[in-house]
Amino acid sequence: MMAGFGVRALCMFLAALAIVAPASLRGQVKETPYWASISSGEARMRVGPSKDYPANWVYRRRNLPVKVLQVHSNWRKIEDPSGTQGWMHVQLLSDTTTAIVVVNNGEIRSKRDDKSSMLYRVQKGVVGKISECKDGWCLVDVEGQRGFILASSLWGPVN
């Protein structure tokens, strides 16, 4: 009877650990600066590293790339593509690698070559997921459409 209780207790402990561990990994500290993206559909940037500080911006753009400049407990001082800086809670950020187009009519091509066929154009402000950057070109995925864009056309982890 006691042995059965011990096994059940161990199983419950391991199940709780499996639920909590991934969330605690979010709080791991990386060397700054590093790149992240906004993971929430609504994320508040604050003037200081606490909910006690007022919010100076509310972001409603999931996957927007940000640069993490400083770490304070569960808070990250970030910079957005416009250069605005402030603090955001770590739970509102993701390691998803994204970049934002900073040129008008960015050209998405079939290969890392400006002479390859153009697949489509993207407007300034479009956000895409980046899987790799090499030789001045980045492989980008914009809502399922993949292709190569010049790294100089992007703001984000492209170097």
For 59-79, write each residue's pLDDT tens digit: 999 999 999 999 999 999 999
Domains and CATH numbers, the chain: 28-96 (2.30.30.40), 99-155 (2.30.30.40)
- Tokens representing residue 61 in the block: 């753009």
* DSSP run (H or E) holding 7: helix 2-25
Where would I find the beta strands (DSSP E) of 8-126? 34-38, 43-46, 55-59, 65-72, 75-79, 85-89, 93-94, 98-101, 106-109, 118-122
Q: Both ends of the chain: CA-CA distance in Å?
A: 61
For the range 133-138, what are the long-range contacts, defined as Cβ-Cβ under 8 Å and sequence gap of 24 or more?
133/157, 133/158, 133/159, 136/112, 137/112, 138/99
Q: Of the segments 4-8, 17-21, 43-47, which one has the largest average pLDDT value?
A: 43-47
For 9-27, write each residue's pLDDT tens digit: 544 544 444 444 444 444 5
Which residues share a beta bridge with 66? Answer: 36
Looking at residue 139, its pLDDT comes to 98
Asked if pLDDT for residue 84 goes beyond 70, the answer is yes
> Do residues 111 and 119 touch, judged by C-beta distance below 8 A?
no
**What is the Cα–Cα distance from 127 to 147, expressed in whole angstroms?**
13
pTM of the full predicted structure? 0.80
**What is the Cα–Cα distance from 93 to 130, expressed in whole angstroms?**
16
